[in-house]
Amino acid sequence: MIGQTIAAALGTVAFSVLFGVPRKYYGYCGLVGGAGWCLYSILTVYTACTAVEATFFAAFLVVLLSRFLAVWEKCPATVFLTAGVFPLVPGTGIYWTAYYLVTDRPAEAADNGFAAVKAAFAIVLGIVLVFEVPDSFFKMKNK
């Protein structure tokens, strides 16, 4: 799990390079991505959380960290958020959906596709909820 968390952090940094994030924020991006994945794997392995619930909590954490860093560094939260949620994006689900579709197994394809959509909605919910919190909350905590 430690290896995977490091991979998540490194992968997040790689994508923040692709999105043109300023160099000084690479470390923060890695931290956000790693933390999100770490929470996700802890929840799925050690608790009764389903993958979708774990995705929601992990996305929640990712957005929360992004907003803290945004206030702290006085820059848009998008910078940390965009690459940070990447480990949670259901790439696996998309792949298996396509795979089962072309191998003529519609039931499995539907299951995987539905799971991918649910995971995507979990991320959406995480992002929307945390952005409802007013900026002042994050400022207070910093003082």
Partner 1 sequence: MVNEELKQDDSEYEEREQDDSKVLETALAAGHILLENGAEIARVEETMERICRHFGVESGNFFVLSNGIFATGSRKPDSPGGQYAKVQHIPVKGAQLDKVVAVNQLSREVAEGRYSLEQVQEKLEQIRRMPRKSFPVQILASGLGSACFCYLFGGSLADSLVAFAAGFLLYVFVLMVRESRISKITKNICGGALVTFLCILSYGLGLGDNLSHMVIGSIIPLVPGVAFTNGIRDIADGDYISGAVRLLDAILVFLCIAIGVGVTFIVYHRVFGGILL
Instruction: Give CA–CA dist 113/110, Å, rounded.
Output: 5
CA dihedral 85, 90, 94, 95 (to 10 degrees): 100
C-beta of 21 vs 57, nearer to partner 1 = 21
C-beta of 131 vs 140, nearer to partner 1 = 131
DSSP-derived 3-state class of residue 49: coil
Where on the chain is the footprint of partner 1 (CB under 8 A)?
3-4, 7-8, 10-11, 14-22, 25, 37, 74-76, 78-79, 81-83, 85-87, 89, 91-92, 94-99, 101-103, 123-124, 127-128, 131-132
**Is the separation of the CB atoms in 9 and 31 below 8 Å?**
yes
Instruction: Give CA–CA dist 14/59, Å, rounded.
Output: 19
C-beta of 15 vs 49, nearer to partner 1 = 15
Shortest distance (Å) from residue 89 CB to partner 1 = 6
